Chains A and B, each alone.
Chain A
Amino acid sequence: MSLLETRGLTGFYGDFQALFGIDAVVDAGETVAIIGANGAGKSTFLRAIVGQVAASREAVSFDGEPIGGLPAHHIVRRGIALVPEGRRLFPSLSVEENLRLGAYSARPGPWSLEKVYALFPALKARRNAPGTALSGGQQQMAAIGRALMANPRLLLCDEISLGLAPIVIRDIYAALPEIQREGVAVVIVEQDINQALSVAARVYCFQEGRVSLSGEPAQLSRDAIRKAYLGV
């Protein structure tokens, strides 16, 4: 049985439909990439999974249970944590307080402040600084650490490399194996195709609210991906 499964998942912003029936699966401990152009619906897909965009109950199942449309604070307690697009650290909380708040749902598991600091040593030195006083890369690390503090079984990462220098991106992606080692399944949303394909066991390409291509990276030709990505 897969850890996460969506069946015909739709997503709306008022009258505007952003998702037109997404079927996708993520297995326990697996890393899946979602790629797609601007506005393809990648973020909406993640938001629908975590309860920030309305979904029908049966459209999302986690661990065999239907969870679509549950309130966001219930879903994180079940073990899905989102690293939101744009990091969204809490400006009036210090780095450490941001991390502690990640553990608000009090799920038991391997992650602790010490473990997050071990994963991202740069954070430890800035632990008492306001979250927003950090560099972009450090903010991203704090946002990932905050999500890990919830001890998720599924970690959703929305464009964690956006706006960062290549060397910083490399540092952040270097943390991925350690996260996977704890058995956490990871969904990586990226616009940068190469970054996504290099770490993922499977990839979904979104185009205008639909899955235009899916499969294992090794079996997909660059041409097919380019077509699915751009729709030409």
Chain B
Amino acid sequence: MGGLYALFATGLTLIFGVMRLVNIGHGDLIVLAAFLGLAVVEATGIDPFLSLIIVVPVMAALGYGLQRGLFNLTLGRDILPPLLVSFGLSIIIQNLLLEIFSADSRKLQVGALETASIRLADNLAIGVLPLIVFLCAIAVILGLQVVFYRTTLGRAFRATSDDQQTAQLMGIDNRHLYGLAMAIALGVVAIAGIFLGVRTNFDPSIGPARLIYAFEAVIIGGLGSLWGTLAGGVVLGVAQSIGAKLDPGWQLLAGHLAFLAVLLIRPRGLFPRAYD
């Protein structure tokens, strides 16, 4: 699950890093992406992974629209308005999904791939699907790392995060830039949503719990660090599977305990950003 949690958390890290926005609706957007994938699969009969070709751009466009039309209006000195607005967004998405898709539990089917595994040793095997998810999480984070540290857009993101006013003096339109950041974040959310739907059952109500996992992964990794987010996802995933081995009921508890343990030992996370 580590890769999946890392993907959940990456979008959250991204928008917090660029605009100090905490998006309470993040988990529900992941579930929305899963349902979008389901709708595309049911309408066209294509493979869920192929549905990404449609779901990623749709979610990215939604992200840009949400940012320009909604979140940009709430940004300011006060952190409460964006929190409230994203909380409202969370509720709206849940109800819309409930209305359209009912409360039934759904899943995206990928056939034999779901149970395929690679034997590494006599009693050690690794599932192909988790492996794909994990590699994908690494690829996404590598890609974002390149965007952030090698491109003009990335420099503009970092500069705006440092000092929005001075960034505008450079010619950066921060509203447009925030729109782009949200578009990228929701593009990643789309990938996370499809993988979520392939790995587990989902229904309209599970968004907030995904948000919690994403939060924990972000905090464990250290706020604002992309590689830290990956590490946070892995720590959370490993803790949950160890917990589940001991007793199936302990799975979630073990994840939360790992989170608390990291907070106690390293309050700023495993890989805090060098400056604040």
Residues of A participating in the B interface, judged by any CB pair closer than 8 Å: 50-52, 71-73, 76-77, 81-82, 84, 88, 90-93, 97, 100-102, 104-106, 146, 150
Contact = CB atoms under 8 A, between A and B. Distances in A.
Given A100-B155, A101-B155, A73 B162 contact: no
Contacts of B165: 52, 72
A50 B169 contact: yes
Given A100-B155, A101-B159, A104-B152, A92 B169 contact: no
Interface string B156-174: 1011011101111111111
B155 A105 contact: no
Nearest to B177: A73
Contact of B168 (A71, A81, A92, A93): A71
Closest 9 interchain pairs by CB?
Answer: A105-B171, A72-B168, A88-B166, A90-B159, A90-B162, A76-B171, A104-B170, A104-B171, A73-B173
A92 B170 contact: no
Contact of B156 (A84, A104, A150): A104
B169 A72 contact: yes
23 contacts: A50-B169, A52-B165, A52-B168, A72-B165, A73-B170, A73-B173, A73-B174, A76-B169, A76-B170, A77-B171, A88-B163, A90-B162, A91-B162, A92-B162, A97-B155, A100-B152, A100-B155, A101-B152, A101-B155, A101-B156, A101-B167, A150-B170, A150-B171
A72 B173 CA distance: 8
Nearest to A86: B166
Contacts, number: 65
A150 to B, nearest CB: 7
* Most chain A beta carbons < 10 A, residue from B155, B156, B161, B163: B155
A160 B169 CA distance: 17
Given A84-B166, A91-B275, A71 B173 contact: yes
Interface in B191-240: none
Contacts of A106: 171
A91 B275 CA distance: 8
Nearest to A149: B170
Given A92-B158, A93-B162, A97-B155, 17 more contacts: A72-B165, A72-B168, A72-B169, A82-B169, A88-B163, A90-B158, A90-B159, A90-B166, A90-B167, A91-B162, A91-B275, A92-B275, A93-B158, A100-B152, A101-B156, A104-B156, A105-B170
A21 to B, nearest CB: 25
Interface of B: 152, 155-156, 158-159, 161-163, 165-174, 275
A104 B174 CA distance: 13
A93 B159 contact: yes
Nearest to B162: A90
Nearest to A72: B168
Give the dominant DSSP class at B's interface.
Answer: helix
A51 B174 CA distance: 14
B155 A93 contact: yes
Contacts of B170: 73, 76, 101-102, 104-105, 146, 150
Contacts of B168: 51-52, 71-73
Contacts of A150: 170-171
Contacts of B172: 73, 104
A76 B166 CA distance: 11
B171 A90 contact: no
The residue in B165, B169, B172 that gathers the most chain A C-beta atoms within 10 A of its C-beta is B169
A50 B169 CA distance: 8
A81 B169 contact: yes
Nearest to B165: A52
B208 to A, nearest CB: 32
A72 B167 CA distance: 9
A51 B168 CA distance: 9
A97 B162 CA distance: 13
A73 B163 CA distance: 14
Contacts of B156: 101, 104
Nearest to A88: B166
Nearest to B224: A92
Contacts of A77: 171
A225 to B, nearest CB: 31
A77 B170 CA distance: 9
Nearest to A106: B171
